Amino acid sequence: MRWGDARRSDNVEDRGSGGGIGVRHIGIGGVVIALLLSWATGRNPLEMLGLVDQVEQGMSPPAASAPANPNDPRVDFVRAILGDTEDTWGAIFQKAGRTYTAPHLVLFSGAVQSACGGATSASGPFYCPGDQRVYLDTSFFQEMRDRLGGGGDFAQAYVIAHEVGHHVQNLLGISQKVSAARQDVRGAGGLSVRLELQADCLAGVWANQAQQRHQWLEPGDIEQALNTATAIGDDRLQRQAQGSVTPDSFTHGSSEQRVRWFRAGFDSGDLKRCDTFGAQNL
C-alpha cells in the first residue's frame, strides 16, 4: 500500500505510547476466566479479555494527551490514514450539504479512560461517541498478525476506517437510534451486527475513494483487508475461543458478512449501498 502521499492529520493524540506502543499482558488464569465468561455470556472473547484485564490489573489514571510523535513510523501511518478519512468524508458530507466534524484518534498503551469508560489494549480499537474519539493501542496490529491471522498496511487501514465509520454513523444519528431502540440489539440479525457491518461498508467506501485519489493499492492489499475481516468475524472468534458458534450472541457479524459488506462499500464507493438496516439478508 503506497500511503506516503496522503495528507497527515493533526487530530492524533498520544496518551502514553512512550514512543513504543506496547501491551499489558494478562496471565493464563485471566485468559481461562475470559474464555469461560465469553462462553457463558456470548460476548466477544477479545472484549472479555479486556474486562478481565481491568479487574486483574486495575485501570491506570487518565493520562494527559500530547501531540503524537510524527517521527514514529507507526504514528505517521495512523496520521496518514486518519487524514485521508477526513478528506473522504469531508467531501462526501459537503456534497450532501452537511459539515463533517473530524474525530480525534487517541494512541494509548495498556489501558485508557474515555468518556465511555475504561478499556485495555485487549479490548481492541474502539470509538467512543461520548467524546467523538477513536482509541487505538497499535499493539492490536501485532495481535492481528500473530494470533488472528490478519495484517498488513491495508488491513490496518481498514481497522482505522471501520472505527471512523462509527464516527460517521454518530454524526448521521444512526448510532443514537440503535442505542434508543428497545429491542435486543444482539444476535445474527440484531441492530448491533447491522451497525458493525455498516461500519465495515463505510470503511469500504473510504477505501474506494482513497484508491480513486491516490491509486495506492498494490497486489494483495484487498486480500489483506478481506483476510482481516474474516479473522475478526464473530463465528471465527467464537470457534477459536469455545469450539462452537452461537449466532444469537453475535455482535459484529460473521466472517462472511464482514467481507460481503466491506466489498459492497469498496466496489461501489456509494454510501447508499451501506443500508444494512434495510437489508433483509445480511
Q: What does the pLDDT look like over 139-159, one tens digit per residue?
A: 888 777 776 666 788 989 999
Alpha-carbon gap, residue 252 to 193, rounded angstroms: 5
Measured CA distances, 22 to 11, 18, 43, 136, 177 (Å): 21, 9, 25, 11, 36
Q: State the first-to-last Cα distance of the chain, in angstroms, to the nearest integer.
A: 29
pLDDT of the residue at 233 = 81
Alpha-carbon gap, residue 133 to 190, rounded angstroms: 25
pLDDT of the residue at 70 = 66
pLDDT of the residue at 148 = 64
> In the chain, what are the domain boundaries?
12-274
Secondary structure element (H or E) that encloses residue 112, with its range: strand 111-114
Per-residue pLDDT band at 184 (split at 50, 70, 90): low
Which string of b and e fits 46-63 if b means at least 16 CB within 10 Å? bbbbbbbbbeeeebbeeb
Lowest mean pLDDT among 35-39, 132-136, 218-222: 35-39
DSSP string, 6-30: SPPPS-EEEES-TTS-------HHH
Report whether 169 contacts 227 (CB < 8 A). Answer: no
Beta-bridge partners for 106: 13, 135
pLDDT of the residue at 74 = 87
Per-residue pLDDT band at 68 (split at 50, 70, 90): low
The alpha carbon dihedral of 75, 166, 144, 27 has a sign of positive
Average pLDDT across the chain, whole number: 80
Phi and psi angles of residue 8, each rounded to the nearest 5 degrees, phi first = -85, 135
Rounded mean pLDDT of 174-179? 88
pLDDT tops 60 at residue 256: yes
Beta-bridge partners for 133: 104, 128
The dihedral formed by the CA atoms of 230, 234, 238 and 243, expressed in degrees to the nearest 10: -60
| pTM, to two decimals | 0.80
Give alpha helix (H) positions in 150-220: 153-171, 174-180, 191-214
